[in-house]
Amino acid sequence: MEVRRRAPLPPPPGRVQAGDALPLPIRHTNLIFSALFAASLAYLMRRWREKIRSSTPLHVVGLAEMLAIFGLVASLIYLLSFFGIAFVQSIVSSSDDEEEDFLVGPARGSSAAAAVAPPPPPSSPAQLLAAGSPPTCLDDQARGLPAAAAGIRREAVRRITGRQIEGLPLDGFDYASILGQCCELPVGYVQLPVGIAGPLLLDGQRFYVPMATTEGCLVASTNRGCKAIAESGGAVSVVLRDGMTRAPVARLPTARRAAELKAFLEDSVNFNTLSMVFNRSSRFARLQGVQCAMAGRNLYMRFSCCTGDAMGMNMVSKGVQNVLDYLQDDFPDMDVISISGNFCSDKKPAAVNWIEGRGKSVVCEAVIKEDVVKKVLKTNVQSLVELNVIKNLAGSAVAGALGGFNAHASNIVTAIFIATGQDPAQNVESSHCITMLEAVNDGRDLHISVTMPSIEVGTVGGGTQLASQAACLDLLGVKGANRESPGSNARLLATVVAGGVLAGELSLLSALAAGQLVKSHMKYNRSSKDMSKVIS
């Protein structure tokens, strides 16, 4: 059986060599400096021999000798550098290859002999691709070509798995913008449609709310709620609290000792000192308070601080670390188990967030007129109030819900989070919401409110700096940091999220009360390959 061998790949054109910075080819440069070294040395030796014979001092030199000495030193430096760089570069390359092999692992399908004594792994992208190993995320920064590395990594994944990923886009994305902060080992990006709901008339301003989602009817339903709110005079919001939390856990020798540390942290006399230590981490971080809880000899310390326009997890973590280092002097027996002890609580449903709040605590309300309820929402006030009590309040209580006394707040929160570059995983606590409906003005109009104690958003950092997400923030007028009033952009974004939830709750409850939910989903949430039917 004839075995066909793959032709070796040519060396990549972008590989950097030691002599690339020289104006001449390396062989010509070597020849010039070698000749200069030999000529300078021969001339100086001949001159020094003549001086010795004539008893002339060696330190008395003329212009020609000075030039010869300069040429000798320059050529010697070049030759030593040339061979030294080659030697050092070979050592560095071998160490880098060993690190790459450790991070990436052996190629799939390698033989047993190769596993016993593997050859030195290649260092160029093309060679890594040929070897069946995708470049690591460190390659992106080392080569300065993140887009090219993403393409090579993508092809390597295709060869290793044998599966096509043609539907995953590769081109048209700025991979340099995610290095070191958003995503590692990229092989493409996922496209999500972004719809606009609005105008949302909130606190006297009109907002067009971007929503990234793949769920049919969601944007349309939220848009209907925005219409009902606008035709009734708009909604009003208020931010009750603004503080991100982080709760380290420390173990003390005894429960009594843990109680002493708890008393120290919660004593108002010590707060100013703790604030000074905490606030050193950032010019925006400001410690608000410390709440402690004990479990045996383990102490959970929940620090809360304002974080400007950033969502603030990294900021508050650095401040907490400063305080822990400070406490270590007075409590040397304190053993810090983790910078996060889940009393924060981040990305998990927790009663502490529902009661105490985390991020921005927002209430948003509106009074919907009777004629708008009938004309736009296709239902009546009494049906909506009854449905909210039985479904959102009693039904959620029967289910043992924690912060889930609403119809679908998570739908709107997640869609806005993705569109504006927030952390989608934080929709868990950010979607905590209780929706309240009651008849007002002698039962004619509807008062609706949503109370959301832990909306965690920011307008700087993380995914907010990506082009698409920054554009959505700019659409809302909250892009970046507010220099005049730090934190106001993030708070405004939180109120927009709450206003969007208010609109979504109003529309969905109306659809349920009118029995239109299934009909609307069958109309708008069912794909059809027959475009003529869609057009008709």
Domain positions in the chain: 26-80, 125-177, 194-241+360-524, 248-338
327 HSE (CA, 13 A, CB side)? 27
Q: Which two tokens stand for residue 172?
A: 């048209």
Nearest-angstrom CA–CA distance, 161 and 158: 5
Within 10 Å of residue 263's Cβ, how many Cβ atoms? 11
What residue has token string 């290095």?
Answer: 179
Residue-wise pLDDT for 407-445, tens only, equals 999 999 999 999 999 999 999 999 999 999 999 999 999
293 has which bridge partners?
300
Predicted TM-score of the model (pTM): 0.74
Three-state DSSP state, 304: strand
Instruction: Provide the strand spans (E) within 369-504.
Output: 404-405, 433-440, 445-455
Architecture (CATH level 2) of domain 248-338: 2-Layer Sandwich (3.30)
Confidence of residue 514 (pLDDT cuts 50, 70, 90): very high
User: What mean pLDDT is reported for the chain?
Assistant: 85
Q: What is the dihedral of CA 259, 263, 266, 267, to 10 degrees?
A: 180
What are the pLDDT digits (tens) for 240-265? 999 999 999 999 999 999 999 999 99
DSSP secondary structure string, 17-53?
A: -GGGGSSS-HHHHHHHHHHHHHHHHHHHHHHHHHHHH
Q: To 10 degrees, the CA torsion angle through 90, 93, 97, 100? A: 170
Selection from 474, 494, 476, 479 nearest residue 430 by Cα: 494
pLDDT one-digit tens code per residue, 117-129: 444 444 455 555 5
| For residue 71, pLDDT beyond 50 | yes
State the architecture of 194-241+360-524 in CATH terms. Answer: Alpha-Beta Complex (3.90)
367 three-class SS: strand
d(CA 415, CA 495) in angstroms, rounded, equals: 15
Residue 368 pLDDT grade (very low, low, confident, very high; cuts 50, 70, 90): very high
Say how far apart CA 232 and CA 367 lie, in whole Å: 7
Q: Is the predicted pLDDT of residue 110 greater than 50, yes or no?
A: no
Catalytic center residues:
215, 347, 423, 521
**For residue 7, what pLDDT is reported?**
47
- The CA distance from 101 to 96, in Å, is 9
Indicate if the pLDDT at residue 295 is higher than 90. yes
By the 10 Å C-beta count (0-12 exposed, 13-18 middle, 19+ buried), 416 is classed as buried
| Rg of the chain in Å (alpha carbons) | 34
